[in-house]
């Protein structure tokens, strides 16, 4: 054993007073990026319960449910999206398609609980700590998956239709 091997352990003590490189509480100190896709938020006043978010979700992670205090009327079904985070893959298709832009995502992604049931909730109704978060993902300005131009439905010419019982409207399959 060399003299250097004997002294080396004592030499590292000088590092005791240096600023550590490690993070003391890594689980508490890992903020998502500003446009990170974390837990959802929903502006319940703006949401009209149309269910378009439910329809586009490829993981069946959204169910439209009734919630206390929201009454349906002609322009609002009275339902609100409930998200199941056991199914959600955070793809944000629901945010990109949302007809009113009410559905957004916070950048909060750290949350642990021993009760699996709490990971299924109605954003904007079941209050969460990230509800007022200003960071996270929202549909970019001017971008929408929805096409707002009506697609014309092909139909049989009236004169042709008069000659038989064939279906006049051609835009549907037999099913």
Footprint of ligand SF4 (CB under 6 A): 42, 47-53, 56-57, 59, 61-62, 81, 83, 88-94, 98-100, 102-103
> Of the two residues 50 and 67, which places its CB atom closer to ligand SF4 in the complex?
50
The CB-of-104 to ligand SF4 minimum distance in angstroms stands at 9
> Of the two residues 102 and 108, which places its CB atom closer to ligand SF4 in the complex?
102
Give the helix ranges, DSSP H, for the chain. Answer: 3-11, 52-56, 93-97, 158-161
97-106 CB burial, b ≥16 within 10 A, e <16: bbbeebbbbb
> Of the two residues 23 and 145, which places its CB atom closer to ligand SF4 in the complex?
145
Report the SS3 class of residue 54: helix
The CB-of-149 to ligand SF4 minimum distance in angstroms stands at 19
DSSP character for 146? S
The CB-of-118 to ligand SF4 minimum distance in angstroms stands at 16
> Of the two residues 139 and 161, which places its CB atom closer to ligand SF4 in the complex?
139
> Which contacts qualify for 25-30: CB closer than 8 Å, 24 or more apart?
27/110, 30/110
Q: How far apart are CA 20 and CA 111, in angstroms?
A: 26
Strands 79-84 and 120-121: antiparallel
The CB-of-156 to ligand SF4 minimum distance in angstroms stands at 34
């Amino acid at each position: 054993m060399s003299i250097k091997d004997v002294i080396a352990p004592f030499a590292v003590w000088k590092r005791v007073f240096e600023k550590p490189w490690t993070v003391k509480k890594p689980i508490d100190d890992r903020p998502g990026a500003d446009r990170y896709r974390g837990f959802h938020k929903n502006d319940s006043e703006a949401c009209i319960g149309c269910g378009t978010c439910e329809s586009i979700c490829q993981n069946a992670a959204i169910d439209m449910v009734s919630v206390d205090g929201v009454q349906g009327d002609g322009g609002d079904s009275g339902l609100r999206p409930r998200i199941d985070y056991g199914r959600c893959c955070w793809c944000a298709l629901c945010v990109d398609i949302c007809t009113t832009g009410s559905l957004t995502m916070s950048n909060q992604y750290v949350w642990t609980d021993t009760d699996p049931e709490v990971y299924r909730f109605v954003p904007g109704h079941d209050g969460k700590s990230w509800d007022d978060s200003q960071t996270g993902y929202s549909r970019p300005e001017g971008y929408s998956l929805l096409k707002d131009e009506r697609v014309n439905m092909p139909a049989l010419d009236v004169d042709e239709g008069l000659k038989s019982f064939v279906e006049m409207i051609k835009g549907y399959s037999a099913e």
